[in-house]
Amino acid sequence: MAHLLSTSCSIKLSSSHRPLSQPFRQCPTKCLTFLTPGTSKSPFKRFFLQGGTQQASCVVRATVAISQETPTQSSSDSRQNSSEPSKPKRVMVIGGDGYCGWATALHLSNKGYEVAIVDSLIRRLFDRQLGLDSLTPIASIHNRLRCWRSVTGKTIELYIGDICDFEFLSETFKSFEPDAVVHFGEQRSAPYSMIDRNRAVFTQHNNVIGTLNVLFAIKEFRDQCHLVKLGTMGEYGTPNIDIEEGYITITHNGRTDTLPFPKQASSFYHLSKVHDSNNIAFTCKAWGIRATDLNQGVVYGVRTDETEMHEELCNRLDYDGVFGTALNRFCVQAAVGHPLTVYGKGGQTRGYLDIRDTVQCVELAIANPAQPGEFRVFNQFTEQFSVNELASLVTKAGEKLGLDVKTISVPNPRVEAEEHYYNAKHTKLIELGLEPHLLSESLLDSLLNFAIKFKDRVDTKQIMPSVSWKKIGVKPKTLAA
């Protein structure tokens, strides 16, 4: 149980912090902080740092609410007296300190939702373990939220803890009472899950048990809550048939049925997401949970309307071989004069989307919730590209900026088809109103200029792939610095 420690503080941000698109408005805030150091049953205590030393076996559970000056009506009373019954207002964003989660939390808050971020902050620990860093300097989560409150006058509550700890998650659900949960809170890198046995086990435990805990918390404490779960297009693999949105109707030996689309995961990370999908589908059927699984493609970009309001709201941008995604990596490589690293033949084709469309898709799913007992699957991407096509687009865009962009083929560290058929359906979010930001010359120009702006922060030793699918072993691996 968390104990309450109330403090009052005046937040002032340094005058050196320059607004990106509008004047920064300082204002005093009040801070409420909950702290309980204690023994944790989470996988943190079994987690190894880069040098092989064990992480401390206690976790600090914290809740920080940067609240309004004036008291507001309780959430339960406001919902009972509201004349606007349908649209969920209280949204819990699990993993809200991460790449997609941070942009989503700000977007939803800006749209008028009451938002709470739940995060263990372990993504920042991964960087320290592996000697990595975001291309962009990112502020602490506390400074991020203070800045958001100062710039917009809007509050985002913060609960720091591990969702694999069900006691922590239970108290968080009972405290915030969400109408919708957006679940980004998973280890999201396929290469990370393939570094060694420890990280493979961590990935599956963290992702599968964390999602199971969320399902149980919804059942026990908020049974009408809508779960919006971030899945991945990687669950499907690269079948030699069109990929449908979650389900396929087949006729076999004269009988017809609609079944979940076959899954062909290609890493321990992707396998954890398949497990998640099966567990969510089962609980929708057994318990009547309402859930939407957003099978997301590869995300690119860094800017959203909200993250551009102030430099302390800036999102992270990963370019390394463990967490960096293809288009983001290529733009950073072009900016520093490193050849674009195409894995193998480069025919690997996937669905892609701008991060501005990620936040738009999540909002659409929340505003149009699944019915009780319904497990919906939306394929969340806007365009398909092969790796070679992306490299060609970045090369042309770089040349217009005066960059000498080269491309090299490197041995593929993954086990995957390098030339294959790929045609995935993605109509359901369009039907709900998604207005895509398609990859254009102007967008590539913007992303390249962004990479050039921060190119002095690039560690070129982190560009080449260092994780091999075939060489994964049981010995804890330290990646070369």
Rg of the chain in Å (alpha carbons):
22
Cα–Cα separations (whole angstroms), residue 5 to 25, 35, 162, 170: 28, 8, 20, 20
d(CA 289, CA 368): 15
471 catalytic residue (yes or no): no
pLDDT for residue 69: 37
* 114: CB partners within 8 A, 6+ apart: 75, 89, 90, 91, 155
pLDDT attached to residue 224 = 97
269 is catalytic: yes
Which of 136, 192, 229, 273 is labelled catalytic?
Answer: 273
Told to judge if 400 belongs to the known catalytic residues of this protein, a careful annotator would answer no
How many C-alpha atoms does 97 have within 13 Å on its Cβ side? 23
**Active-site option among 269, 300, 319, 352:** 269
Q: Which of 104, 232, 341, 349 is catalytic?
A: 232
Residues of the chain where predicted confidence (pLDDT) is lower than 70: 1-88, 479-481
Predicted confidence at residue 477, as pLDDT, reads 85
User: Within 294-440, where are the H helices?
Assistant: 326-336, 355-367, 387-400, 428-432
pLDDT score for 478? 74
pLDDT, position 63: 45
59-69 confidence digits (pLDDT tens): 344 444 444 43
Q: Kindly report the number of other CB atoms within 10 A of residue 59's CB atom.
A: 22
Alpha helices in 437-480 (DSSP H): 441-453
Query: Residue 255, SS3?
Result: strand
The tens digit of pLDDT for each residue in 13-23 reads 333 333 333 33
Distance (Å, whole) CA 40 – CA 200: 20
